[in-house]
C-alpha cells in the first residue's frame, strides 16, 4: 500500500480539481473511484471538499475561481510539488524563466504555496507543507499515481525542472521519446513527453485503476469522454475528460510502493 506521512522535497504530493460544478464533480468522482467527501468551509461561502478513500486523503475538489471562469480557463486538475520553501521555489523558478502568477501565500495554517507557469506554459504549484503534507495514499486504485507533462519542448522543460527541483530526467526505458523523472532520492516521479498537435502544455494527473478499460467504460457511463486509450507496455492508460471538462487519466499496471 502506498501510504504516506510525508514527502521528499521535489515530489508530487497533492492534486485538486477546480471545477465549474463542484457538486456534480464530487458525485462523478465518488462514483468512479469510491471517494467520499469531507467538506471544509474556507470562507466567503466557499467549500474545499477533501476527497477520501478508505478514510485517507487522496485529492480535493473545489469551485473554480471566478477570474479563471471569466478568462475561459476550463476546469482542471492541479499538480502540487512539495518544497522546503515556497518563497525560494518561486524566486528560483522566476530566475529560470518561469512566471509567478500567484506569489507565495499562506493557506490558513495548512501550508504555503505559489502558482507558477513554466517557460513552456504548464502550471504547477510548489507546496510548503505545514498541517497538510499531501495525499495520505498514493499508487493504488483511486489515488494519485503519476504526473505527466505534455510539452512543446520536452528537452527545454527537462532543463527547467532539473534546475528547479534537482530532478534526474532521462529517457524512459521501453518508451521512445518519453522522459522519466526521478526525485533527488531516486524515486520515480512522473514523466515528460512531446505534446500532440493542438494539445495544450499541461501536467496531466493520473489516478490508479485496477482495469483502465473498465474504468474508462464506467467513466463514460457517468458522462465522461474518452480522449485516448492505449497499452504502454508497463500497463494500460486512458485519458478522459470529465463531464465538466477537466482532463485526467487512468493507469492500470505495476505501482511503486
**pLDDT(164) > 90:** yes
pLDDT tens per residue, range 56-86: 999 999 999 888 888 888 999 999 999 999 9
Contact 240, 216 (CB under 8 A): yes
**What are the beta bridge partners of residue 191?**
148, 180
Residue pLDDT, tens place only, 97-136: 999 999 999 999 999 999 999 999 999 999 999 999 999 9
How many other CB atoms are found less than 10 A from the CB of residue 70?
Answer: 9
Give, in words, the CATH class of 144-253. alpha beta
Predicted pLDDT at 20: 96
Judged against a pLDDT cut of 80, whether residue 174 lies above it is answered with: no
According to the model, what pLDDT value does residue 130 have?
97
Cα–Cα distance, 113 to 129 (Å, whole number):
9
Q: Please state the rounded mean pLDDT for residues 144-166.
A: 97
* Residue extent(s) of CATH 3.10.180.10 domains in the chain: 12-129, 144-253
Euclidean distance between CA atoms 194 and 196, whole angstroms: 6
What CATH number should be reported for the domain whose range is 12-129? 3.10.180.10
Q: For the whole model, what pTM was predicted?
A: 0.96
Work out the mean pLDDT of the chain and round it to a whole number: 95
Round to whole Å and give the CA distance between 189 and 100: 23
Q: Is the pLDDT confidence value at 229 over 90?
A: yes
pLDDT at 69: 84
Three-state DSSP state, 215: helix
Position 44 scores a pLDDT of 83
**Residue 160: partners with Cβ closer than 8 Å, 6 or more residues away:** 96, 97, 98, 118, 119, 120
Q: What is the pLDDT of residue 1?
A: 56
- Which of 233, 129, 117 has its CA nearest to residue 178? 233
* Nearest by Cα to 128 from 117, 113, 114, 107: 113
pLDDT average, residue stretch 197-221: 97
Question: To 5 degrees, how large is the angle CA 85–CA 91–CA 96?
Answer: 125
Amino acid at each position: 500500500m502506498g501510504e504516506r506521512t510525508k514527502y521528499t522535497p521535489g515530489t508530487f504530493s497533492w492534486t485538486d480539481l477546480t471545477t465549474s460544478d463542484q457538486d456534480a464533480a464530487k458525485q462523478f468522482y465518488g462514483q468512479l473511484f469510491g471517494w467520499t467527501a469531507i467538506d471544509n468551509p474556507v470562507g466567503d461561502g466557499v467549500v474545499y471538499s477533501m476527497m477520501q478513500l478508505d478514510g485517507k486523503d487522496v485529492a480535493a475538489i473545489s469551485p473554480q475561481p471566478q477570474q479563471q471562469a471569466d478568462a475561459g480557463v476550463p476546469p482542471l486538475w492541479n499538480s502540487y510539488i512539495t518544497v522546503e520553501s515556497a518563497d525560494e521555489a518561486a524566486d528560483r523558478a522566476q530566475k529560470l524563466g518561469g512566471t509567478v502568477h500567484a506569489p507565495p501565500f499562506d493557506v490558513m495554517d495548512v501550508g504555503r504555496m505559489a502558482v507558477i507557469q513554466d517557460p513552456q506554459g504548464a502550471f504547477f504549484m510548489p507546496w510548503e507543507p505545514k498541517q497538510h503534507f499531501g495525499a495520505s495514499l498514493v499508487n493504488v486504485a483511486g489515488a494519485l499515481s503519476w504526473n505527466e507533462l505534455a510539452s512543446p519542448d520536452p528537452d527545454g522543460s527537462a532543463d527547467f525542472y532539473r534546475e528547479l527541483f534537482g530532478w534526474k530526467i532521462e529517457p524512459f526505458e521501453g518508451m521512445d521519446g518519453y522522459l522519466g523523472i526521478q526525485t533527488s532520492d531516486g524515486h520515480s516521479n512522473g514523466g515528460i513527453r512531446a505534446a500532440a498537435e493542438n494539445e495544450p502544455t499541461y501536467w496531466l494527473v493520473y489516478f490508479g485503476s485496477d482495469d483502465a478499460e473498465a474504468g474508462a467504460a464506467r467513466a463514460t457511463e457517468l458522462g465522461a469522454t474518452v480522449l485516448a486509450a492505449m497499452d504502454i507496455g508497463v500497463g494500460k492508460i486512458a485519458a478522459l475528460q470529465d463531464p465538466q471538462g477537466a482532463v485526467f487519466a487512468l493507469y492500470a499496471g505495476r505501482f511503486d510502493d
